[in-house]
Amino acid sequence: MHLSLSMLLFLLCSRADAGEIIGGTECKPHSRPYMAYLVILTSQNHQKNCGGFLIRRNFVLTAAHCSGRSMTVILGAHNISKKEDTWQKLKVVKQFPHPKYGSILFHHDIMLLKLKKKANLTLAVGTLPLPSQFDFVPPGRMCRVAGWGKTGVMEPGSDTLQEVKMRLMDPEACKHFSTFDHTLQLCVGNPRKTRSAFKGDSGGPLLCAGVAQGIVSYGHPDAKPPGVFTRISHYRPWINKILKEN
């Protein structure tokens, strides 16, 4: 099977036979109120999906490779196959991919989405704090990833939000990814475990002690950990600038 670059990019979900984010479990409904489900129309008029997370009432953070011609964000979702009373569907009016995205393969895979109107904060919809620029999270830390991505390499995406625990690894564990850069990225997932993020989880947050430290970016086509996440702390000055100007 020939894997295109975009397919390689969509590598962030983990599940065992139970059918979760590979090796993960279903989240307690609405226990992750910042999670955003992105419905994206590509330039070829195909639909694709990504994860993202609410950082301001009118801004969602996601991966730059999730960009498209138009986009709708669903907040307050647990099961994305049936509309719930908690849902807030909001149009994206502007996409802000990082200006250097695409200059080096897989680098600067981060994007801000401005929503048409501010989300109402409810029990099912809330914002997630970001790290400061100098919060350089070290290897060894245990973190969590959540998403609606594929629960296995050959499995479909999950209807319900799944999450998985993953360990931050030393940069050496990602040296087989030729463009891995420890200052810009996080190496996530123990290679001896089957837990990982996968296609469809792209853009979702890596949570360490309640703070979003990473964004699902890319990994192996067979979902074998570790995977590479965008290191959010490095991009705080850029994020702050976009938020201030918009």
202 is catalytic: yes
Q: How many CB atoms lie within 10 A of CB 108?
A: 22
Per annotation, catalytic residue among 109, 201, 233, 234: 109
Tokens found for residue 170: 């030393």
Q: How many CB atoms lie within 10 A of CB 194?
A: 16
CA distance 243 to 245: 6
Tokens found for residue 182: 């420890």
Q: Are 120 and 229 in contact (CB under 8 A)?
A: no
Residue 233: which residues within 8 A CB-CB, separation 6 or more?
A: 131, 132, 133, 134, 135, 136, 137, 213
What is the signed CA dihedral for 61, 168, 146, 219, rounded to 10 degrees? 80
Q: Are 13 and 201 in contact (CB under 8 A)?
A: yes
Scanning the structure block, which residue is given the tokens 């830390």?
141
Q: Are 85 and 102 in contact (CB under 8 A)?
A: no
Residue 15: exposure state from Cβ atoms within 10 A (0-12, 13-18, ≥19): buried
Per annotation, catalytic residue among 202, 220, 233, 234: 202
Scanning the structure block, which residue is given the tokens 């910042």?
34
Catalytic center residues: 65, 109, 202
